[in-house]
Homo-oligomer: A and B are copies of this chain.
Amino acid sequence: MPQPMHNTPRVVIVGAGFAGVFAARELAGAKADVLIIDRNNAHAFLPLLYQVATSAVESEHIAAPVRGILRNMGKKAANLDFCMAEVRGVDFGKRDVLAHGPDGQALSLPYDYLLLAPGSVTNTFGTPGADEHAFSLKNLEEAVRLRNHILRSFEAAAWTPDADERRHRLCFVVVGGGPTGVELAGAMAELMAGALKRDFPRLALASPCVTLLEAGDGLLPGFPQGLRDYAKRKLTALGVDVRLGAAVERVTPEGAFLKDGGAHRAATVVWTAGVKGEPVAARLGLATAPNGQVLALPTLQSMEHPEVFLAGDICRAEHAGRPLPMFAPAAIQEGRHAARGILRLLAGQKPQAFRYFDKGMMATIGKKAAVVRLGRFSFKGLPAWLLWLAVHLTYLIGFRNRLFVLANWAVDYFWSERCVRLISRRNPLA
């Protein structure tokens, strides 16, 4: 087992997502100096990105500055520090994380124990045109970019005399019928039937369309069949054109084109059909699965370096013989477990194997419509939606964020209003 090289052992956590933040909480008060590194200064609550993209909540309200999170842990978190930096490499021999600071300065951050939790990025599986022409929804900037684009498409359509061109601008395609695709398509349909319909009364005849393309035979793979059928029914009722067995072959500025020859003309294509491990992990020379996840021991330790742990979307962990989905509940449990593994090593004990506790999974479709699998039980409709609200507010960090998001949801619920209809401008010098 690796031994600390000086009096106070140093733990470095790469990534302030769910895994990193919950690991840091576990390590608060430990006899170790803990440093969290992230390229952003804030933890972002990614499950609500689709609400940023559809003008429902402010990007600032689903972001919590990491230093604020540490402060709110109180005095016991005095051993935690933060460094805003982009990780460029790890010297596993010297035990140094190599990073670029906010002004581009080169930083060398030594560790005795390292937790890698850099997350995931969109996976377009090499589909031609998807990287260039499709929007993505994996971080705050991409969500704001999609919001800007949706609103700008309506502003442009309002002053487009040609009917075909106007229709093209008002057609939106979401690729991928997983939770992100379902939630985004539902929220887009509600935005267009509510706030945007009132904003653009003269566009009423040229009604906008939202199409959801799923390559498989049903939405929400992994959910019980009854919930999958319900999700399709509800989305259709919201006006979403749900197409199953629709495998996208290529994306162009004209739209999405299917392997079976079908074509969906749309100025906006959003790709939610896949995620893969953050490329930085592969660059570190660690053994990865085909989807870019780093292979880990059952203890979440790296196969090559026992002092390195993995957690979150980057970590290939298994449950019941199958890889865990890359989602928040797994990241939280893995982050906690990896931190406990480091604490055990600090105490001279062996790390234990990770066991995922399956609480279930949930997705929202629209107002008063969600699906929840809770252990062995399934809910849908209003009870599922209320549970979805409660869980998301609970895991959203920061009292103020919860308050503001709840206020926005109330406005949306009672008046079908989406308040954040701001097109932010390009900021070349930001």
In the bound complex, residues from chain B placing their C-beta under 8 Å from that of A425 are 40, 140-141, 430
| Interface flag for A422 (CB, 8 Å) | yes
Instruction: Pull 8 A–B residue pairs with CB atoms less than 8 Å apart, ordered by A.
Output: A41-B423, A65-B421, A85-B159, A102-B152, A102-B156, A102-B423, A400-B407, A400-B419
Complex: how many Å from CA A144 to CA B427?
9
In the bound complex, residues from chain B placing their C-beta under 8 Å from that of A358 are none
Interface window among A55-63, A90-98, A323-331: A55-63
Most buried by B among A105, A202, A398: A105
Evaluate contact between B400 and A144: CB separation under 8 angstroms: no
| Interface flag for A216 (CB, 8 Å) | no
In the bound complex, residues from chain B placing their C-beta under 8 Å from that of A420 are 60
Given A422-B41, A422-B63, A425-B40, check contact A103 B145 (CB 8 Å): no
Known: A102-B155, A103-B169, A141-B427. 13 other contacts (CB 8 A): A40-B423, A42-B421, A63-B422, A67-B421, A71-B198, A71-B199, A101-B159, A105-B160, A144-B427, A144-B430, A400-B407, A424-B430, A426-B430
Evaluate contact between A107 and B159: CB separation under 8 angstroms: yes
| Interface flag for A151 (CB, 8 Å) | yes
A426 to B, closest residue via Cβ: B430
Task: List which A183-234 residues lie within 8 A (CB) of chain B.
Answer: 198-200, 202
| Interface flag for A83 (CB, 8 Å) | yes
In the bound complex, residues from chain B placing their C-beta under 8 Å from that of A42 are 421-423
Given A41-B151, A105-B156, check contact A59 B427 (CB 8 Å): no
**Which residue numbers of A lie inside 8 Å of B, CB to CB?**
40-42, 58-61, 63, 65, 67-68, 71, 81, 83-85, 101-103, 105, 107, 140-141, 144-145, 148, 151-152, 155-156, 158-160, 169, 198-200, 202, 398, 400, 403-404, 407, 411, 419-430
In the bound complex, residues from chain B placing their C-beta under 8 Å from that of A144 are 424, 427, 430
Evaluate contact between B67 and A199: CB separation under 8 angstroms: yes
In the bound complex, residues from chain B placing their C-beta under 8 Å from that of A84 are 152, 155-156, 423
A103 to B, closest residue via Cβ: B156
Complex: how many Å from CA A60 to CA B63?
14
In the bound complex, residues from chain B placing their C-beta under 8 Å from that of A422 are 41-42, 59-60, 63, 65
Complex: how many Å from CA A151 to CA B60?
14
Contact of A68 among B107, B199, B424 (CB under 8 A): B199
Complex: how many Å from CA A151 to CA B430?
12
In the bound complex, residues from chain B placing their C-beta under 8 Å from that of A159 are 83, 85, 101, 105, 107
Given A411-B400, A423-B84, check contact A41 B155 (CB 8 Å): yes
Evaluate contact between B145 and A430: CB separation under 8 angstroms: yes
Complex: how many Å from CA A42 to CA B107?
41
Q: In angstroms, how far is the closest chain B Cβ from the Cβ of A31? A: 19
Evaluate contact between B419 and A148: CB separation under 8 angstroms: no
In the bound complex, residues from chain B placing their C-beta under 8 Å from that of A105 are 156, 159-160
In the bound complex, residues from chain B placing their C-beta under 8 Å from that of A156 are 84, 101-103, 105
In the bound complex, residues from chain B placing their C-beta under 8 Å from that of A71 are 198-199
Complex: how many Å from CA A153 to CA B430?
13
Evaluate contact between A427 and B429: CB separation under 8 angstroms: no
In the bound complex, residues from chain B placing their C-beta under 8 Å from that of A411 are 400
Complex: how many Å from CA A403 to CA B61?
15
Contact of A60 among B41, B58, B428 (CB under 8 A): B58
Complex: how many Å from CA A422 to CA B66?
10
Given A60-B420, A65-B422, A427-B145, check contact A83 B40 (CB 8 Å): no
